[in-house]
Amino acid sequence: MSWGGYLSLRAAAFEPRIKRVTALPAHFNGLDVALRQMFPGQARALVSLLRAEERKGVEALVADQRKFSTVFYWVITQGMHIIGTTTPYDCLQAETRHQVRAFAHLVKQDVLLTAAEQDHLFPPECLEQEVHALVCASSVTTRVFTAREGGKQHCQVGNSALAMRQMINWLTLLRTAAGPP
């Protein structure tokens, strides 16, 4: 779930013992999560500073953005926790390397990609990017959760059972289609 959508695909790309993989939700570009939470114009500035490896500039820009957005503050703090870094600069530099396109061609398993129509971190267009990148997957199934069914938010907050049922149904369908072992 969440960043695990990226991590599960990366694991599948390099571990052939994995037969099926789910991304709840689809997660294509690690840096995009932070960039989406920034004020207009600031995302471009952050990318420029990261490319120039301007640590002080990145830290100052992040500190400024964190003052005004609790979601951005959380994205940076959670990113540092997940990646294991101690500074926003190191976190964001690591996130620039979290690119599904780098290994998507190595994923050969059955894949379930999900999205939520109002996910503030991983919008549905991430799902389409992954579908197009997973050219060697055995199969790719997609599912967009909606407001009507109570699954419109990140990781289906408000109806997490919906996402779990989807995964179970998908696995059951694949097992049934494969026939007895």
| Structural domains of the chain, ranges and CATH numbers in brackets | 4-29+101-178 (3.40.50.1820), 31-96 (no CATH)
Q: Which amino acid appears at position 95 of this protein?
A: E
Residue 1 pLDDT > 80 = no
DSSP-derived secondary structure for 28-92: -BHHHHHHTTSPTTHHHHHHHHHHTT-HHHHHHHHHHHHHH-HHHHHHHHHHHHHHT-SSHHHHH
pTM for this prediction? 0.84
H/E stretch holding 156 reads: none
- pLDDT tens digit sequence for 112-161: 998 888 888 877 888 888 899 999 999 999 999 888 888 878 878 888 88
Cα gap 162→117, rounded to integer Å: 14
pLDDT grade for 181, boundaries at 50, 70 and 90: low
CA distances, 160 to each of 1, 3, 11 (Å)? 11, 16, 23
State the pLDDT at residue 179. 67
Q: Which amino acid appears at position 57 of this protein?
A: G
- pLDDT tens digit sequence for 81-109: 999 999 999 999 999 888 888 999 999 99
